[in-house]
A and B are shown apart, each in its own frame.
Chain A
Amino acid sequence: MKSCLVVDDSKVVRMVARKILEGLDFQIEEAEDGQKALEACQKSMPDAVLLDWNMPVKNGIEFLKDLRVMAGGDKPIVVFCTTENDMAHIQEAIGAGANEYIMKPFDSEIIQSKFSQVGLI
């Protein structure tokens, strides 16, 4: 079973994402900001990260940059999932090492399609 860390400051979004990803056979961990997400990765590196952009304490892009220089931090497949839907943000995310990008609002079909494109399912 693959693991996915769901990082979003909205409890509702985390719950929705958890439901969808559990349906795709992922084991889910949750984090409410980039700092908590980094701590979770230090404990155990997930196979995938579903990552929000705007969060308090440490945002998604800061988390991603920190993750990619951590030991083993090049491994997880990172899929952004954010309301930031302009080309500049998307390019910045790809530049920082994101593997895929979901523009909110999302549904299970989009998550499934993106996760399958990056070889997670």
Chain B
Amino acid sequence: MNVNDFEMIARLLKERSGLLLGQDKAYLLESRLNPVARQYNFKGFDELARAIRLGKDEKLLEDVTEAMTTNESFFFRDSKPFDQFRDLVLPHLLEHRGSRKSIKVWCAACSSGQEPYSLAMILKENEARLAGWKLEILATDISREMLVKGKEGRYSQFEVQRGLPIHLMVKYFKQDGDRWQIDDAIRRMVTFKPFNLLDDPSAIGQCDVVFCRNVLIYLDQTTKAKVLARIAELMPPDGFLYLGGAETVLGISDDFRLIPGHRGVYGLAGDVGHPMATAVG
């Protein structure tokens, strides 16, 4: 692969998904795009690059963007955020949403569904406290292929072993050949929809909790700020934003503040902001 091809594809990805592809990730291009080249019957990477450069095949450009966006995901990833959801976020919402009895969670980059399903399992495990509540989990991703997989809720043996405690696997999955199928009761709790984080999210509606983990790290400063500002607009004053372990709002957005003592969980800043985020965080 030559430098021109690399730069041309990096530009395409930046425009379409906000994804920032550094020179150090050049190795990823070929390994991720070779399957696309095969799928389109191109004779190798150069021919694929030529077709991308021509820019006539919209479907191809979409497939290339999808193949390059990172889709790594596992159940209860990093575990701590999910403990916080159960022990901090859920009790707060139970106390403060009592009059309308509804909770809406948005997983803004849900990949193949492990994150929203992890949240659904937590809600299910707490169903006694949530009787009569309307629970919405909206799961969006730029990759339609990932959404299909998420909606299906079928995982490989490898996937169900990453992060998923065995007692939850036994309780909420059924074995089907070499795949593990998540229960319909859990599957029905999650709505999957395509959404590009660079687009206007007003159709998403107000969300009490937003999971936007391990997405910002792939975006440049301006795009990060834009995405955070839009999420802020969707949030009630006491909503919760989750970012990934390596992500921060510092120097990017004044809209959010860390909730002290809870790494990775943010609330709206300012006078009408989150009651838990008012302390210096």
Q: A117 near B79 (CB under 8 angstroms)? A: yes
Q: Does B35 contact A (CB under 8 A)?
A: no
Q: B166 near A101 (CB under 8 angstroms)? A: yes
In this complex, how many residues of chain A approach chain B with their Cβ under 8 Å: the count is 18
Contacts of B175 in A (CB 8 A): 86-87
In this complex, how many residues of chain B approach chain A with their Cβ under 8 Å: the count is 14
Q: Which residue of A lies closest to B167 (CB)?
A: A94
Q: A110 near B167 (CB under 8 angstroms)? A: no
Question: Within the complex, which residue of B161, B167, B170 is in contact with A114, where a contact is CB–CB below 8 Å?
Answer: B161
Known: A86-B175, A87-B170. A110 touches B165 (CB 8 A): no
Q: B166 near A90 (CB under 8 angstroms)? A: yes
Contacts of B161 in A (CB 8 A): 102-103, 106, 110, 113-114
Q: Which residue of B lies closest to A118 (CB)?
A: B165
| Chain B 38-90 residues near chain A, CB threshold 8 A | 74, 79
Most buried by A among B74, B166, B174: B166
Interface string of A91-104 (1 = CB under 8 A from B): 10010001011110
Q: Which residue of A lies closest to B178 (CB)?
A: A85
A117 to B165, CA, bound (A): 7
Known: A103-B157, A116-B79, A117-B79. A90 touches B170 (CB 8 A): yes
Q: Which residue of A lies closest to B76 (CB)?
A: A117
Q: A94 near B157 (CB under 8 angstroms)? A: no
A29 to B162, CA, bound (A): 26
Q: Does B194 contact A (CB under 8 A)?
A: no
| 8 A-B pairs with least C-beta separation | A101-B166, A110-B161, A117-B165, A87-B175, A100-B166, A103-B157, A113-B163, A113-B162
